[in-house]
């Protein structure tokens, strides 16, 4: 039985995905091949990366997600701003920011804690909600790094709107030559 590469995430509306794509078009043109860009339809808010799981673990994860989602009411997240991890001088990941109410942190902590009880490794870094839009290529040169830094310092992404968060999802990720393909395995609605 083969394993599934899985993660828990919140979907971003197609409207916001397209707004992100439009707001970052100059950045994508300027930085081009130095960045592996995330296709708009794959932009999402990861709550927990699980890694390789067995199909037998899906049932326990869906029960856990149902319980966690049912304890948090639906909420809105404001999308906007541009940044990078770990910082602009040593950018490895480019992201769009999120301004979220406390419910997002409650949901994230609950999922992290429940995953730890199921035997998944706890995340060492604190939860920093963001939407990954690109990753700096491993073979990027020092000149590329300077170009990326300058472009990030010059770029600005204003508010792109709000996303209604009313469900949380378990996804599987299939890595293909032209990028990852995400498939929903389970959807858990938040408390209504």
Which one, of 15, 9, 161, lies nearest residue 98 by Cα?
161
Q: Report which secondary-structure segment, H or E, holds 112.
A: helix 102-117
- Overall average pLDDT of the 60-84 stretch: 97
Confirm whether 44 is a catalytic residue: yes
Give the model confidence (pLDDT) of 39-71 as tens digits: 999 999 999 999 999 988 999 999 999 999 999
Of residues 159, 153, 63, 145, the one with CA closest to residue 111: 63
CATH number at residue 69: 3.90.1140.10
Q: Which residues contact 123 (CB under 8 A, 6 or more apart)?
A: 48, 112
Cβ neighbors of 88 (< 8 A, separation 6 or more) are 149, 152, 153
pTM of the predicted model over 0.85:
yes
Given this model, what pLDDT does residue 180 score?
Answer: 85
pLDDT tens per residue, range 89-126: 999 999 999 999 999 999 999 999 999 999 999 988 88
pLDDT digits (tens, 9 = 90+) for 137-173: 999 999 999 999 999 999 999 999 999 999 999 999 9
Q: Which of 3, 21, 99, 130 is catalytic?
A: 130
The parent domain of residue 107 ranges over 4-189
Q: Residue 1: is its pLDDT beyond 80? A: no
- Out of 1-5, 32-36, 127-131, pick the least confident: 1-5
Task: Give the H or E element holding residue 108.
Answer: helix 102-117
Do residues 173 and 5 make contact, with C-beta atoms less than 8 angstroms apart?
yes
Catalytic (active site) residue 21: no
Domain count across the chain = 1
């Amino acid at each position: 039985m083969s394993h599934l590469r899985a993660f828990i995430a919140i979907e971003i509306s197609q409207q916001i995905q397209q707004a992100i794509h439009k707001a970052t078009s100059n950045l994508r043109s300027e930085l081009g091949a130095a960045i592996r860009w995330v296709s708009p339809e794959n932009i999402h808010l990861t709550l927990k990366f699980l890694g390789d799981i067995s199909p037998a673990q899906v049932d326990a994860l869906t029960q856990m997600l149902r319980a966690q989602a049912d304890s948090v009411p639906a909420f809105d997240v404001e999308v906007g701003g541009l940044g990078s991890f770990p910082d602009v001088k040593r950018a490895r990941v480019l992201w769009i920011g999120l301004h979220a109410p406390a419910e997002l942190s409650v949901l994230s902590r609950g999922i992290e804690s429940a995953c730890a009880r199921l035997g998944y490794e706890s995340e060492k870094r604190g939860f920093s909600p963001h939407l990954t839009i690109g990753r700096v290529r491993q073979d990027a040169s020092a000149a590329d790094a300077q170009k990326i830094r300058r472009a990030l310092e010059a770029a600005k992404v204003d508010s792109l709107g709000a996303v209604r968060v009313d469900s949380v999802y378990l996804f599987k990720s299939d890595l293909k030559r032209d990028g990852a393909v995400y498939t929903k395995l389970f959807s858990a609605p938040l408390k209504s």
